[in-house]
Structures are given as structure tokens and as C-alpha cells.
Structure 1
Amino acid sequence: MRKFIFITLFLISNLIFSQVKGTIIAIKDGDTVVALLPDKTQETLRLADVDCPENGQAFGKNAKQFTSSQVFGKTVTFYRIGKDKYRRTIAKIFYDNDKYLSKEIIKAGFGWWYFKASKNLELQKFQDDAKEKKLGLWADKNAVSPWDYRESKKKKKVI
């Protein structure tokens, strides 16, 4: 029985954390892309470690454009690390000789380090640096995080 449980857990972890290649065929927003996999299926990927402004939010279009400029049409390598509440795959995406997409977004000032779900403290430093240099969304001294923006939209619906 133990052997069966071990093998099952091993296979599940390989499915979740395995390296996958795909071509980015769509950019939904700054932190969500669609990959075409080698078997011709599509998979929606929500970037790990970063939260970008929503499409209707200030800098939302800029974040989407930045992500597009980095990976649209490119073959990337990604690692599945889980699923979100919308059943999208949460993934760490790497491109152009191992650039980490979430890190590049944060460095350019088009997303927040998503500290609620990320343990990568290095990304906090990149966010602080972008903020200090007033890059991207940090040019707005009243920048609103996506989670605060979504919360304010919920409250408006209730009223």
C-alpha cells in the first residue's frame, strides 16, 4: 500500500511540476497567457509570483502590452505549480535563455510582487527598485494594487 501511495504521489508531482514547452498564442492580460502545447491543445497560464493591473484598471493595457512584447509568438518553457480558483494553471514561465517572465514584469514596473502567494523575496527587491525609479505603474504615486481594485469593484456591485 505504501508503495502504491508513493508512486501515485510521485506521478502527480511530476504532472504538476514537470517542465513543459509551448508557444504563446494569446495574451489575456498582463499576468495571463494562452500556450499552444506540442499536442496542439491550448492551456491558459496564470503567472506565478506576480499580479498585474486588471484590463480596466490604470496601466492594465500597458502590462498586457509588456507581456505581449516579451513572449507573444515565442516558444517558452513553463512549470505548472497549481491551479487557481478559475481552474487556470498557475505557472512559472521562462523564455529567451531563461528569463523569468514574472520577474521581468515586476522589474519593468508593470506588476506587483504577489506576496500573498509567493515566497520569492527577491521579487520584493525588484518591485522596490522599480518603485524607486518610478517605472511603469509606479509613475502613478496613487497606484492601486489589483487586489484592492478587485475588492473595490466587488463593493460597488453590492451597493
Structure 2
Amino acid sequence: MIISPVSLPHLQSGLAVTSDLFRRALAAHASGVVVITAQHAGRPAGLTATSFSSVSLEPPLVSFYVDRSSTTWPSLRAADHFAVNVLAHDQADLAARFASRGVDRFAEPTRWRPGPLGAPLLQDVSAHLVCLPYETAEVGDHILVVGLVVEADPQGPGRPLLYHQGRFGRFLAHPES
């Protein structure tokens, strides 16, 4: 069922949640951190995403969201494939670099190599997923991007980098009882 704002009277009366309140509430949710990379017109492009998730096992689909105002999105959209680089716990600086504007994200100290189809694969990450574009949809002020995974390379049992309350952090497992 699709709900339109017209069918929700509280939205018309101004009772909708403010973006600031919404952002603060979502900060309570920890998420994993990935860097999406692609190669377009001979140039690497990439951005940090904390909205990454699995979608389907059959077929193997993953998704992430990108802000419509992203200056990196046009290069990612134009590429014929992209890579998802799942960041390890010690890669907060890399995540911050790919979230920054006005820097060459692929210059030193970033370490990467071309993947099997050409998309940049970042070094020392927890996993790589190489994806073909499957579907996109405009949703609010973001674009939902769904990719068909054509190659997966888990790098080991390392701990993930997390994003929580506006900061990067590490996962600590509960002791087994």
C-alpha cells in the first residue's frame, strides 16, 4: 500500500516530524559503513554510505541511498557497475574522506586497486561486492539504488566500522555465556 500525504490528515495540519527531530531519532540506530565506488570515463568515483542493506538472496540484491544533491551520484549512475566496500573497524578516516567534499578521495593515503570489472576496490576492507545496476527509485530527497551482486569477496572475520550518533565506532560483541 502506498500512502500519500493527502491521505494523512496530520501531515496537512503541520504535525509532521521536523527534519531535526527525525535526524536525532535516527541517530539512535547504529549502522554499518560502506564506500560505494565506480569508474566512469576513466575516473574513479566514490562516496560513503551508511544506508546500505541486503535486499534479496534470490537474486542477490543489495541497496543503498544517495542524496539527490550528491555531486558524486552522476558518475556512479553513469557507470555500468559499482563496488560496495564494507569498511573495517579501523577505517573511520577512510569513511570520513569519502564523505568529504572537495578532496581527491582516491589520492594517498587511500589504497585501492581496479576490480575485475574495473570499479575501484579499497584495500583492507572487510568485504567487496561487485554489483550491476538493477533498479533506482526517487524516494523523498534521496535515490534508492539497488544492485545485483555478481561477485562477492569476504576478506575475513574482521570487525565492522559502525556509524552511531554522528560518529564512527567499533562493534564489541557481548561475552558468550
TM-score (structure 2 length as normaliser) = 0.26
Greater helix percent: which structure?
Answer: 1
Q: Which structure's relative contact order is higher, taking Cα pairs within 8 Å and 6+ residues apart?
A: 2
TM-score (norm 1): 0.28
Q: Which has the higher strand share?
A: 2
